[in-house]
Amino acid sequence: MFRFLATDRLVLVGGAISRRALRNRATPPVFVGTPLVRPLSQVFLLVGPGR
């Protein structure tokens, strides 16, 4: 039972910290766009010279 309490606390604290970071530092389009743009740009940069 103690393990579940520690896991719940970890999830709640981690969620609160990430929510605060999202609200204070990045707008939602930037927060969502960054994980999409970076891998796509890597694919284009690495596939281009290989053709």
User: pTM for this structure?
Assistant: 0.37
Question: How many domains are contained in the chain?
Answer: 1
pLDDT tens column, 1-47: 556 687 888 888 888 887 777 666 666 677 677 778 888 888 888 88
When pLDDT is cut at 50, 70 and 90, the band that residue 50 belongs to is: confident
The pair of three-digit structure tokens given for residue 14, joined into one six-digit string: 């981690």
Identify the domain containing residue 19 by its residue range.
2-50
Distance CA 18, CA 3 (A): 22
Q: pLDDT value at position 9?
A: 82
Angle at the Cα of 24 (from 19 to 39), degrees rounded to 5? 70
